[in-house]
Amino acid sequence: MLSQVLSAEFGRTLAQRARSFYALTKPRVVSLIVFTAVIGMLLATPGMVETRILLAGTAGIALVAGAAAAINCLVEQKIDALMQRTRWRPLPQGELTPIQTLAFAGLVGGFGLWLLVHFVNALTMWLTLATFVGYAVVYTVILKPATPQNIVIGGASGAMPPVLGWTAVTGEVGLEAMVLFLIIFAWTPPHFWSLALYRTADYARAGLPMLPVTHGSRYTRVQVLLYTLILFAVTLMPFSIRMSGGLYLAVACLLGAIYIGYAVRILLTYSDALARRCFRYSILYLAVLFAALLVDHYLTV
């Protein structure tokens, strides 16, 4: 009986520890990263992606992204403890120690880079490592606590996944890959500033210089609209360089019109509920936009 109790308790502890490590990787964020990386792979070739490249590339990029997220959680554990939306994370809750987090990030990230260099190509590995450094060090350690433009500058790291997917297949960075990069780069500021608008008190409490904290709500709302208009223009580029056809163009225009509508309403009739809906829509927007690009790709090859 005692052995059964101890076994059950060990199983529960192990499962809880596994959930804590999994939470460190920010799985929702990583899922969007992996999705856009895979789209980049599929768009890079008119045919099918080699199975080895698809599996190793996806796993490697996902693991390194998860490691970067874990380092972000490690660096920001005190900030996370002050913010309502992040205080549940494993480090503020005391479920994991900094040493455990660092070891986990090193093992996961190192294995991811090993997969990329051995089964994909060296360029993808180095670009993925640079993306890791850009997010975990440049953005998290340097930019985020220092400037309200942290999202704009640091958005370069978040925009890299489709480029990584592209280089995994082709071994080079092409014009089309840079267009995909620009789409996510332009998408990042209005996406995160929508969140920051209805979480302003959280960011102020944590002492982070997010745009609504440093420049106020109205200025941020104007910026959301301006960047949404820039995003709309950038999303027309795949059609303009003949990377896509009419299906993608129609979807991009429809999605963009809805997004601009949200941005206009945020500027003129702001509410936290509206900003929250805009933030959620921005995630759906990016997923559907890239999916439409992929469908259009296979219809026109």
Tell me which of 152 and 277 has the higher pLDDT: 277
| pLDDT value, residue 47 | 85
pLDDT at 44: 94
Query: 1-172 has which CATH code?
Result: 1.10.357.140
Structure-token pair, residue 193: 């500033």
Average pLDDT value for the chain: 91
Rounded CA-CA distance 162/180 in Å is: 6
Give pLDDT, residue 178. 96
Band (1; pLDDT cuts 50, 70, 90)? low
Tokens of 140: 């998290």
Domain boundaries, the chain: 1-172, 174-301
Q: What is the pLDDT of residue 285?
A: 97
% of residues, the chain, pLDDT over 90:
71
**Could you write out the DSSP letters of every residue in the chain?**
-HHHHHHHHHHHHHHHHHHHHHHHT-HHHHHHHHHHHHHHHHHT-SSPPPHHHHHHHHHHHHHHHHHHHHHHHHHTHHHHHHSTTTTTSTTTTTSS-HHHHHHHHHHHHHHHHHHHHHHT-HHHHHHHHHHHHIIIIIIIIIITTT-TTHHHHHHHHHT-HHHHHHHHHHSS--HHHHHHHHHHHHHHHHHHHHHHHHTHHHHHHHT---HHHHH-HHHHHHHHHHHHHHHHHHHTHHHHTTSS-HHHHHHHHHHHHHHHHHHHHHHHS--HHHHHHHHHHHHHHHHHHHHHHHHHHHHH-
Q: Report the share of the chain in percent with pLDDT over 70.
A: 96
